[in-house]
Amino acid sequence: MSSNSFFLKHATARDADWQVSYPALAMASSIDPVDERRKQIVVAAADDTHVRMVFFSTLGAILDFRASWAEIDSSARSWLAFTVRWNRWWLPDGGHARAIEQHVSTPTDLRLAHCSIEGRLTDDAAFRRYLDNVERHYRRDARIARVLFSDNLRGEIEGGPLTGAAPLVDS
């Protein structure tokens, strides 16, 4: 099976509910000044047996990909190696980074959210709480906030951490 068909078989296009929930993540991959190079953003998590990756493309699509490492090893190792090298990756913590590294390599452009996923990788509610955490990071970027929020809300967002947000530190 070719890598492209493997990806399409395992990816789910997310609907408008995800678009309105993660506007800053979607925007971060498509606005020039936000990143030094336009990159697709991959918010992922991995364990010893599976990987889940949500792709925020420069074209505005949100694709939720799930597969076992065994499936990837037999069908899509070169595709994953390309993805790890050329996209900006967010992972919950170092344990997830080690799982990715064990099966392919460490992402070239890696950010850690320093949070955990309470539940399995297949648990949409738990995974979306993690996505919410990364979304908060991009909402704090002044260039994104100017586009997303009115002037009266921008001061609150730029003024400091959001209530309940776990601290984010880029690695």
Q: Give the total number of structural domains in the chain.
A: 1
Residue position matching structure tokens 């392919």:
104
Residue 46 located in a structural domain: yes
Query: Would you say residue 171 lies in a domain?
Result: no
Residue 155 token pair: 């001061």
Looking at residue 31, what is its pLDDT?
Answer: 65
Q: What pLDDT score was predicted for residue 56?
A: 92
167 is a domain residue: no
Q: Does a structural domain hold residue 166?
A: no
> Does residue 128 fall inside a structural domain?
yes
For the chain (171 residues), the mean pLDDT of every run of 10, in chain order, is: 76 91 85 61 95 88 94 87 92 96 93 92 94 91 77 52 46 46
Q: Which of 41, 51, 170 is nearest to 99 (CA)?
A: 51
| Spatial separation of the C-alpha atoms in residues 66 and 72, rounded to whole Å | 10
Structure token digits, residue 148: 């997303």
pLDDT in the model for residue 144: 80
What is d(CA 103, CA 35) in angstroms, rounded to the nearest whole number?
27
In a domain, 68, yes or no: yes
Quote the tokens at residue 118.
């309470």
Burial of 12 (0-12, 13-18, 19+ CB in 10 A): exposed
| Cα distance between residue 57 and residue 39, in whole Å | 8
**In-domain check, residue 168:** no
Q: Which domain holds residue 103?
A: 3-158
Would residue 40 count as lying in a domain? Answer: yes
pLDDT at 73: 85
Q: How far is CA 31 from CA 46, 62, 74, 139, in A?
A: 28, 16, 36, 13
pTM: 0.80
Q: What is the DSSP letter of 88?
A: E
- The first and second tokens of residue 16, run together, are 């408008």
